[in-house]
Each structure stands twice: as C-alpha cells, then as structure tokens.
Amino acid sequence: MSKKVKKMKEIKEQAYHKPLIKRRKPNRSIHGDIALYIFLLIVAAIMVFPIVYAVNAALKPLDELFMFPPRIFARRPTLNNFSDLFVTMGKSWVTFSRYLFNTVFITVVGTAGHLMIASMGAFVLAKYDFPGGQGFFKIVTVAMMFTGYVTQIPNYIIINKLGWVDTYWAIVVPAFASPIGLFLMKQFMEGLPTSLIEAAKIDGANEWMVFSKIVMPNVKPAWMTLIIFSVQGLWNNRASTFIYSEERKMLVFALSQVQAGGIARTGQGAAVLIVVMIVPILTFVFSESQILETMASSGLKD
Amino acid sequence: MADPKIKINIEEDKKGKKARGAMASPGDTYFQKYITLRKHNLSTAWKKMKISKGCYLFLAPYAILFTVFFVFPVVASIFFSFTYYNVLEPPRFIGLNNYISLLLEDDIFLIGVKNTLIIALITGPLGYIMSFLFAWLINELPRWVRSVAVVVFYAPSIAGNCYVIFSVFFRGDAYGYVNAALMNLGIIDNPIYWFTDPRYMLPICMIVILWMSLGTGFLSFVAGLQGVDSSQFEAGYMDGIKNRWQELWYITLPNMKPMLMFGAVMTITTSFGVADVTMQLCGFPSTDYAARTIVAHLIDYGSQRFEMGYACAIATILFLMMILCNKAIQSLLRRVGT
C-alpha cells in the first residue's frame, strides 16, 4: 500500500472520532452492537476468572489460603510459594536442574525433528501430484481425530519392542510424526505460488535446494505455529507410561508430584499450577499473529 | 524428479484408449474392458511413481514414523481386540468374545458409553457453536482488542491442568464458593457434594469442559473469518441482506466451510476423548461410576488390569464412534448456507 493511500485512509477514519469498530457496516444497529459487546465482556470475565483466581491463589501467603470466608484477590501478595516450591524441588533426590534439562531436551529435540520431518512431507504433499499422496493425506486428517489414549496400548507394545521404554526416544520419536503439524504445514504451503518453485528450477535448483532455500524461508508463520503446538504438546506430556526412572522424568511430572503432597503443600501446589500453565500461554501470546496467519489456511476441503 | 503438478501426457493416453476401444471386437465383455482400463491406469500410476521418486524420498521419514506410531497402532488394536492378551502370555484368539462381553455383560462400559455420549452430544455442539460465535463476535473488534480477546478465550484450553481450580469453587463443604453463595441466597440448606453426588458430577464436568472448549478450532475460525473477502459483504448489502444474522448465514458461513470442517474434527477429538477432567475432578473410579467415560474405562483395563485385548476392543469401538460422528458432521456441514 502506498503512503498516499494510507494517509487518505487515516483522514477518512479521523472523521469518525475514533470509532470502536473501524468500518461500521451499514446493516448494524448500535443497540445490537452494545448488547453483544456487553455479552462478550461478561463471557470473557467468566472465562478468565478461574485463571485469575489460580494466579491469586499462588500469590497468597499460607494463612490467607485457609482464611474463611475466602477471598479471590490476595491481600498481601508474596512470591513465597514460588520460592518454597524451588526449595522443595531442590531438596528432592533428583535435582531441579535435571528435570528442567529433561523437559528442555525433549521439547527442543522433539520440536526440531518434527519441524524438519513434517515440513519435508508437507512440501511434496502440497506441491506435487504423485500417486498415493492424496490418499496418505486423507489418512493423516483422520488420524488427527484420535486422542492419544486410544493408541496408547499398541504404542506401548511397539516402543517396548524397539527397546525404547524409559528413554527419551519413547517421547521424542512419536512426537516427530504428530499429524496436526503436517496438516497445518501442508495447508499453508499450498498457498505458496507454484511459479516460485518453477522459477527456482529454471535457475537450476534441485529439489532439496527448492525446499530449503525457497519454500522454508517463505513459510515462517507455519514454522512458528508448528513449534508452538509441538512445545505445548511436549511440555504437558507427562509420559508416565513410558518413563519410570526419576532422573528422566519431565518437569511437569515432577511438579505434579509436589502438587499431590497434601494440605501442607497447598501454597506450592497453587504455584505449580501457574508454572505449568504459564509456558504454553506465554508462547502463544508472543506468537499469536503468526499462528493466526497459519490457521487462516487450516480449512479442510471435502 | 517430477515437475510441480505434473500431468503425464494425458492427451496421448486418451487417444490410446480410444484407439483400443475401436479395435476391441464387439464380443468383448464389459468385464474385459474394465480389466484393460485398470491395467492402463495401473501402468500410468507406475510411470508416475517412477518419475516422482524424489517425492517419496521426501515423504519417507514422515510416512514411516506416521505408519509406525499412528497407523499401525490402529491396526494392531483392531487385531488385539479379537484376542485375550495380558502382555505376559502371547495373545490368544477368542473371536468376538471381547465385544460380546463389552456390550452384554459389562454394565460399567455401558455407563461409560452413556456418559461419553452425553458429554460429546452436549459439550461437542455447544463448544463448537461457542467457538464459532465468539470468533465471529470478536472479528469486528479493533485489532489489539481482538488479540487480547483471542488470548482470553483460548487460554483455558492450553492452561495445563488449571481446571483443578474448579474443585475449589465446587468444593463439597460449606467452604466452597458455590455452596457458600447458594446457602447465603437461601437456595439450599445443606452443602451439595458436587463431585461425589452422581446427580451433579456430569453437569459440573461439562461446565469445566465447556470452559476449555475454545481450542484449535477457535483459532482456525478467528483466522478464517479474517480472510473472508469484504467485497462479498458489499455485494450482499446491494442484494438486500438486512441484518448480521442473514449476513452470517448467506455469506460468512459458506465462506467458512473448510474451517468449519477442521473445527469439527478438532471438536470430535476433544469431546470423545474426555477422561482427564472427569478423572481429576470426580476421582477414579468415581462414585457409582457416574463420571466414567469410555476413555476412563480404557485406561482402567489397559493400564491397571492389563487386559489389553479387552482394552483394545474398547479403543476400536471408540474409533468407530469417532469416524461415524465425523461422517455425520460432514454431511451436515455440506448443507450450511444453502
């Protein structure tokens, strides 16, 4: 958009005294709008309330947690619960840093491998027409429907046969093949102009170069989305079925062990809730625009 | 390696088919024609496959892992569902016995099916409609307000096990917020045991599930609504679309069909896979099994009783339910906006 057009638009918009809705559509009634937005505000408050409550519970000192009648907002907010949690974790047999390492290692390796493998597959599925390609993609979309529990038992048997029980690979390698990542990547790559690939080919690029130099740099939003979804999935993965030695357990699993520690750990338990939820939410907040850009092409055609 | 969207000299192939058709003697049966056609198709496919070797190389790593960890488990669980298998002994084929005892003898499974269906049929459509409704309502907000709203609505679904906070609100004694509020208002005299009284367990769980239901599908809707071409709306005003509801039905929804399909798939996943919420909030096993779902039953037999064959039969039934549900929803969605 040229500067002139932008300026024109700005001048046009100024005439409306900064309207709440940018371009008022002609078929809207003001009463309807107000009613709808009040409704939205109420629902948003209800949605956010449990989270606000959880955050406040984590900030309450212990005496306030057991106060009657209970209050929603902390009167004297402290970070004691978090520091207590850190102390408890530090006293455990396996150190806190080891749990953190496990989580970071699994998340980084799982995400990197998933990104690589899924985007290679997505690239050929989106841009080439070869026998079996569409059929394979259909199967992937069906697989998106199945929750992890359903395939858990055969999965355990397979991982056992591979000798991966109680190793990181039991979590990392299945995460490589997560169907939703391939699905989103493929849908996004379809929006990439085919002429771009053809031009690169005329200039003498081979398939690998087309993929790594042309396609991948052009699908950065989809990268970001894949990374976020993968991180969210792996972060919340307790992998309690596959991993039993304490020194290979994930941070979230260790934290939930603290949480189960009874009434004396109420404050720490509240802090655990916050630590567990803050990572996925923060990653989402920072990458929201890119995720939405990817999701715009997420539609399923029949 | 193939060129993008390669079409192997289809023109020539068509000519060849015609020529062969003319040559064929009138005595040729339909069946023989079918065979020749199939052979021809196969040879074209084979040619195509040879040309696109590189494609298979690119797809291979994903395809192998996907087959091992997603396709094979499904096949294996169908296979094991016809056997008695307890991990220690090799599986023993027992035919349909697992299914027979599931459907005729296992009362708890039937409770699980009932609960799962109740949860899926209520929270599924409601959560789906909520996802779309809120995505649509926040669509016209200014950019930054919309971003905040998306975070607010989406956060519960990624907040890990934050839903356990509901057990504080709905605590069974007078200290719980809901009980305290209801008693102050004089609606009830005695505190209600929300998570141990079978009458209240499912509704409360459904509230919690609804709270978490604005997930990936919701994001897809938000993004899809942004992409609807505004010139279509202008054309709609010219054609006399009066209010936002008509606009929704005649313009927005038809444009959103692919996203609606995607959202439906995501909703099926979450609404049939319910187990975490009910197990965490109502206990496992819950009072009178009133909060038992199919997945909870599966976990019970698979990871606690080690009756893998039986658990696989449960999983297979769940597969079938999900696929049937998906088919039903797809045919429903085809009618949208017509």
**pLDDT, tens digit, 9 for 90 and up, residues A157-180:** 888 888 888 888 888 888 888 888
Say yes or no: B85 and B217 in one domain. no
Contacts with A144 (C-beta within 8 Å, 6 or more apart), sequence order? A179, A180, A183, B265, B266, B269
Say yes or no: B26 and B157 in one domain. no
Name the token pair of B284: 């496992």
pLDDT grade, residue B248 (50/70/90)?
confident
CA of residue B271 relative to chain centroid, distance: 7
Is residue B17 predicted with pLDDT exceeding 70?
Answer: no
Say yes or no: B307 and B220 in one domain. yes
Contact criterion met (CB below 8 Å) for B88 and A157: no
Interface test with A, best of B59, B166, B218, B249 (most A CBs within 10 A): B59
Residues of A in contact with B78 (CB under 8 A): none
CATH number for position B194:
1.10.3720.10
User: Cα separation of B35 and B38, whole Å?
Assistant: 5
Residues of B in contact with A302 (CB under 8 A): 261, 330, 334
Contact criterion met (CB below 8 Å) for B195 and B201: yes
pLDDT at B5: 47
Taking only residues 158 to 177 of chain A, the set having a beta carbon closer than 8 angstroms to any beta carbon of chain B reads 158, 173-174, 176-177
Is residue B151 predicted with pLDDT exceeding 80?
Answer: yes
Number of structural domains (chain B) is 2
User: CB distance A277–B137 less than 8 Å?
Assistant: no
Say yes or no: B298 and B175 in one domain. yes
**Domain membership flag for residue B224:** yes
User: Cα separation of B232 and B42, whole Å?
Assistant: 44
pLDDT at B266: 85
The ipTM (two decimal places) reads 0.81
Say yes or no: B89 and B188 in one domain. no
**Domain membership flag for residue B308:** yes
The residue to which tokens 């309807």 are assigned: A32
**Domain membership flag for residue B177:** yes
Contact criterion met (CB below 8 Å) for B55 and A197: no
CA atoms within 13 A on the CB side of A151: 22
**Domain membership flag for residue B89:** yes
Side chain identity at residue A202, one-letter code: I
B149-185 in b/e form (b: 16+ CB < 10 A) is bbebbbbbbbbbbbbbbbbbbbbbeeebebbbebbee
A10 in reach of chain B (CB within 8 A): no
Name the token pair of A145: 């429907």
Side chain identity at residue A163, one-letter code: G
Say yes or no: B58 and B203 in one domain. no
pLDDT grade, residue A3 (50/70/90)?
low
What is the nearest CA distance from A167 to chain B, expressed in angstroms?
Answer: 16
pLDDT at A9: 62
User: Cα separation of A76 and B4, whole Å?
Assistant: 64
The per-residue pLDDT for range A282-295, each reduced to its tens digit, is 888 888 888 888 88
Range of the domain at B76: 10-97
Determine the length of chain B: 338
User: Cα separation of A144 and B74, whole Å?
Assistant: 13
Contacts with A52 (C-beta within 8 Å, 6 or more apart), sequence order? A72
**Domain membership flag for residue B293:** yes
User: Cα separation of A164 and A156, whole Å?
Assistant: 9
- Mean pLDDT, rounded, for A18-31: 60
From B73, B97, B121, the end of a domain falls on: B97
**Domain membership flag for residue B318:** yes
From B56, B76, B97, the end of a domain falls on: B97
Is residue B11 predicted with pLDDT exceeding 50?
Answer: no
pLDDT grade, residue B338 (50/70/90)?
low
The per-residue pLDDT for range B95-148, each reduced to its tens digit, is 888 899 888 888 889 999 999 999 999 999 999 999 999 998 888 788 888 888
Say yes or no: B58 and B173 in one domain. no
- CATH class of the region A89-295: mainly alpha
- Mean pLDDT, rounded, for B138-163: 86
- Mean pLDDT, rounded, for A130-140: 88
User: Cα separation of B119 and B126, whole Å?
Assistant: 10
B151 in reach of chain A (CB within 8 A): yes
A128 in reach of chain B (CB within 8 A): yes
pLDDT grade, residue A90 (50/70/90)?
confident
Say yes or no: B66 and B123 in one domain. no
User: Cα separation of B66 and B322, whole Å?
Assistant: 20
Contacts of the segment B125-129: beta carbons below 8 A, 24+ positions apart = B126/B210, B126/B213, B127/B209, B127/B210, B127/B213, B127/B214, B127/B267, B127/B270, B127/B271, B128/B213, B128/B217, B128/B263, B128/B264, B128/B267
Whole-number average pLDDT of chain A = 81
Say yes or no: B198 and B257 in one domain. yes
What are the CA-CA distances from residue A108 to residues A45, A176, A228 (Å)?
35, 11, 11
pLDDT grade, residue A11 (50/70/90)?
low
**Domain membership flag for residue B338:** no
Q: Where are the domains of chain A?
A: 19-78, 89-295
pLDDT at A115: 92
From B46, B73, B97, the end of a domain falls on: B97
A150 in reach of chain B (CB within 8 A): yes
Determine the length of chain A: 302
Least confidently predicted of A105-114, B204-213, B230-239: B230-239
pTM: predicted TM-score of the whole model, two decimal places: 0.81
